[in-house]
Chains A and B, each alone.
Chain A
Amino acid sequence: MNIFSLAFKNLTRKGRRTAVLILLTAFLSLAVFGGSVMILSLQSGLNSLEARLGADIILVPSQAQSKVSFQNMFLQGTTGAFYMDASALDKVMEVEGVEKAAPQTFLASLKADCCSIRIQVIGIDPEKDFTVQPWIARSLSRELGDMDVAVGCKVEADVGEIIRIYDMRCKVVARLEPTGTGLDTAVYCSMETMAELLRAAEEKGVSHKIESGDDVISAVYVKVRDGYDIDTVNSRLNGHIRKATAVRTRSMITGVSDSLAGVSRTITVLIAAVWVLAFIILLLSFALIVRERAREFAVFRLAGASVSMLGSMVMLESALCGLAGGLAGTGAAALVLFPFSRLIENALNLPYLMPGLTQVLLLGVLTVVLSVAVSALSSTMAAYRLSRVNPGTALREGN
């Protein structure tokens, strides 16, 4: 029998004491792993939103902001539509400092007989688009054809399925990767398909108040050339194009970013508080345990155990508790976080994109390592006190 099996026996034979220690470390691990996954998910959601917006500036009709909140459109998938003449795209390209400009046209479907599901339809020009197309390209190796649609991951339609939008049959050709934003609830199609859908909507009597004829777009996504100040280009766009407003994308997500920072800060503070609390409780627990076991340790000493051997045994016992607690806490957090991620996302009302499996596994391993380290560290004080106790004195005091 070695020191490992002795420590293991001490833990298994003192079930209640061990269970309390494991529970404490499990609580610590649950907070660390759960909190970290949430912070990472929020961060990933924001990054994803930034990547999907992908532009420095978005030009929209002047009346757009009074019709729909951009933030809600991108975060919660609120449907909305507004239009301007497609010539706005050419005017954007005339402005100095503009590197790329890509149009998008929006159409909000209705929850009615004409449509099988209520969705935001976004038309893109695959040749010019630099925001959505790279995302679609990861799921579809060709361009979107006539009446083809690519659906966000939260749209309940599978590849190959036909969905009806204003009684037009559209074929789902791709399901897109999740972004953790409202864009996951949208459907993407080519500008040609969008023109068909707009006509169908008009025929159904759904007025979109298109004032500028058939050739309309909803927004122009602008990428500013390197070396140009984005604010300057933004001002130039506002001065150059009438009846349209240029908005910096950063200002659109500032509110989101601020909320996310607030939530992340709160979670971090909570993790830190749990950390400190658990550490103090573990510290006190081990101090009490060592005091309670003083005579037992004295017996080990008279049987030939050195101070370092006893210290190692105490630290090993606590590390094993940390390991068990770490695994239990991480597992419990995973059981809550993964099946209920949609609920958490809805409750937070923020972009929320779960990290990938590798990242989650790495985080889980780190949490368990942290749990083991904290447990071992919290027992060092007890181990040190143990080294100061004279076995002869401990034997006498135990009588």
Chain B
Amino acid sequence: MIQAENVCMQYFRKTGAANFFYAVQPVSLQVQEDSLTVLMGRSGSGKTTLLNMLSGLQKPSSGSVLLGDTDLYSLRDRDLSRLRSEKIGVVPQGRSAVDTLTVMGNILLPEMLTGRPLPVSGAEGWMEKLGILNLKDAMPSQLSGGELRRMAIARALSQQPDVLFADEPTGDLDDENTHLVFRIFKAYAHEEHKAVFIVTHENDALQYADLVFRMDAGKITGPSPFPPSPA
């Protein structure tokens, strides 16, 4: 589904022995459909940078990222944006609400921007599964951190993307909701035949993962063998 070829992210740094350092060292990997891929690692290890590069949000210093046969970074901005809206869902780290829109408005934002039919019933379905349907007319300022996080997840799922990227999606969630979200992601990958790529440092994610990569100081290792699924 997503194929990264020798992608890396290099930053210029004036101090130190070298002028450049790698946030992400050259790496090639695949994010496959029908699977939930987990990337684990400590803070600052380069996980988010890699996720941004794979999802078309940050152009790598070198290498290419293919979605099917399409090289994301060879596209013009307008085409890449449309592709991202239609085929790639992203749950970013932290707060990602547009304050001037309601919760429902935030969830339907990708379709609003591209003029596609609004998947209202689909969105309501995801909101119900995530336990935030009663908040659909609320403004983001009225929501807790955990509710905002689930709103961002509902937005990404409502897009029905071919590939879903989630950066620390359970950061603000309690245990119950953490497992709920991982179960939903797993089901989305297997039942909808989509690819799900999660960046996390939560060990809870491992029991739902089909593939696990690990990252340390910009260097990726894996994938590890399939861990056992929960009973």
Residues of A within 8 A of B (CB): 1-3, 6, 9-10, 12-14, 295-296, 298-309, 390-393, 395-396, 398-399
CB contacts (< 8 Å) of A309 on chain B: these are 81, 113
Across the interface, do A2 and B84 meet the contact criterion of CB distance under 8 Å?
no
Interchain residue pairs A-B with the least CB separation, the first 9: A304-B85, A392-B52, A392-B58, A13-B100, A392-B57, A306-B81, A399-B94, A303-B110, A306-B78
Neighbouring B residues of A299 by C-beta, 8 Å: 92, 96-98, 109
> Is A390 a contact partner of B113 (Cβ separation < 8 A)?
no
From B59, B77, B86, B105, name the one whose CB has the most chain A CB atoms within 10 angstroms. B77
Is A303 a contact partner of B58 (Cβ separation < 8 A)? no
Among residues of A, the one whose C-beta sits closest to the C-beta of B92 is A395
| A13, A301, A307, A399: the one within 8 Å of B57 (CB) | A301
CB-CB under 8 A from B77, the residues of chain A are: 306-308
- Of A13, A307, A391, most buried by chain B (CB within 10 Å of CB) is A391
Number of interface residues of B (CB under 8 A): 35
Set of chain A residues within 8 Å of B112, measured between Cβ atoms: 1-2, 6
Which of chain B's residues has its CB closest to A307's CB?
B77
**What is the CB-to-nearest-CB distance from B38 to chain A, in angstroms, rounded to a whole number?**
20
A304 partner residues in chain B, CB cutoff 8 A: 81-82, 84-86, 110, 113-114
CB neighbours (8 Å) of B170 from chain A are none
Could you say which residues of chain A place their CB within 8 Å of the CB of B86? Answer: 304
Q: Which residue of B lies closest to A305 (CB)?
A: B113
User: Cβ of B115 and Cβ of A2 under 8 Å apart?
Assistant: yes
B-to-A contact residues, CB < 8 Å: 48-49, 52-53, 55, 57-59, 77-78, 80-82, 84-86, 90, 92-101, 105, 109-110, 112-115, 155
Q: Which of B80, B84, B93, B98 interacts with A396 by CB under 8 Å?
A: B93
Q: How far is the CA of A14 from the CA of B110 in the complex (A)?
A: 22
- Across the two chains, which residue of chain A brings its CB closest to B83? A304
- Contacts of B92 on A, CB cut-off 8 Å? 298-299, 302, 395
B100, A9: Cβ atoms under 8 Å? yes
Question: Which A residues are in CB contact (< 8 Å) with B52?
Answer: 391-392, 395-396
- Chain A facing B: main interface SS: helix
With both chains docked as a complex, state the minimum distance between the C-beta of A3 and any C-beta of chain B, in angstroms. 8
Chain B facing A: main interface SS: helix
**A135 nearest CB across to chain B (Å):** 59
Cα A299 to Cα B53 with chains together (Å)? 16
Chain B contacts for A10, CB-based, 8 A: 100
Which residues of chain A have C-beta atoms less than 8 A from B115's C-beta? 2
CB < 8 Å: which of A1, A9, A391 contacts B58? Answer: A391
Complex Cα distance, B90 from A391, in Å, reads: 12
Note all chain A residues with C-beta closer than 8 A to B78.
Answer: 306, 308
The interface residues of chain B lying within 8 Å CB-to-CB of A390 are: 57-59
Residue of B nearest to A6 (CB): B112
How far is B140's CA from A148's CA once the two chains are assembled, in angstroms? Answer: 78
CB distance from A8 to the nearest CB of B (A): 10
Q: How far is the CA of A296 from the CA of B57 in the complex (A)?
A: 14
Are A399's CB and B93's CB within 8 A?
A: yes
Residues of A close to B48: CB separation below 8 A = 392, 396
A303 / chain B contacts, CB cutoff of 8 Å:
85, 109-110, 113, 155
A148 to B5, CA, bound (A): 100
B114: A residues at CB distance < 8 A: 304
- Tell whether, in the assembled complex, residue B110 and residue A296 are in contact, meaning their CB atoms are under 8 Å apart: no
Contact B113 A9 (CB under 8 A): no
CB distance from A125 to the nearest CB of B (A): 74
Name the residue of chain B whose CB is nearest to the CB of A304. B85
Q: In chain A, what residue has the closest Cβ to B97? A: A299
For the complex formed, measure the closest distance between the CB of B143 and the CB atoms of chain A, giving whole angstroms: 15
Asked whether B113 lies within 8 Å of A395 as measured between CB atoms, the reply is no
The answer to whether residues A395 and B59 also contact, given A303-B110, A304-B86 and a CB cut-off of 8 A, is no
Query: Which residues of chain A are near B94, meaning CB under 8 Å?
Result: 395, 398-399
Q: For residue A393, which residues in chain B have a CB less than 8 angstroms away from its CB? A: 58
Given the known inter-chain contacts A9-B101, A304-B113, please indicate yes or no for A395 contacting B81, CB distance below 8 A.
Answer: no
> Who on chain A is nearest to B52 by CB?
A392
In the complex, chain B residues whose CB is within 8 Å of the CB of A301: 57, 81
A308-B77, A309-B113, A391-B58 are known; give 12 further A-B pairs, CB within 8 A: A12-B100, A299-B96, A299-B97, A301-B57, A302-B84, A304-B84, A306-B77, A306-B81, A391-B57, A395-B57, A395-B96, A399-B93
Which chain A positions have C-beta within 8 A of B82? 304, 306
Whether the Cβ atoms of B155 and A395 lie closer than 8 Å is: no
Q: Could you show 5 A-B contacts with beta carbons less than 8 Å apart?
A: A13-B99, A304-B110, A390-B59, A392-B58, A395-B92
A74 and B112 CA atoms in complex are apart in Å by 67
Least distance between B153 CB and chain A CB atoms (Å):
13
Q: In the assembly, what is the distance between CA of A120 and CA of B86, in Å? A: 82
Nearest chain A CB to B31's CB is how many angstroms away?
17
Could you tell me the distance between the alpha carbons of A236 and B40 in the complex, rounded to whole angstroms? 106
Bound Cα distance A181, B67 (Å): 78
- How far does the Cβ of B171 sit from chain A's closest Cβ, in whole Å? 10
**How many angstroms between the C-alpha atoms of A306 and B80 in the bound complex?**
8
Nearest CB in chain A to that of B76: its residue = A306
Closest residue of chain B to A391 (Cβ to Cβ) is B57
- Whole-angstrom distance between the alpha carbons of A299 and B95 in the complex? 9
Q: Are A395 and B93 in contact (CB under 8 A)?
A: yes
B46 CB to nearest chain A CB (Å): 12
**Contacts A390-B57, A393-B58, A395-B94 given; does A296 touch B109 at CB 8 Å:** no
Inter-chain CA distance A302–B77, complex, in Å, is: 12
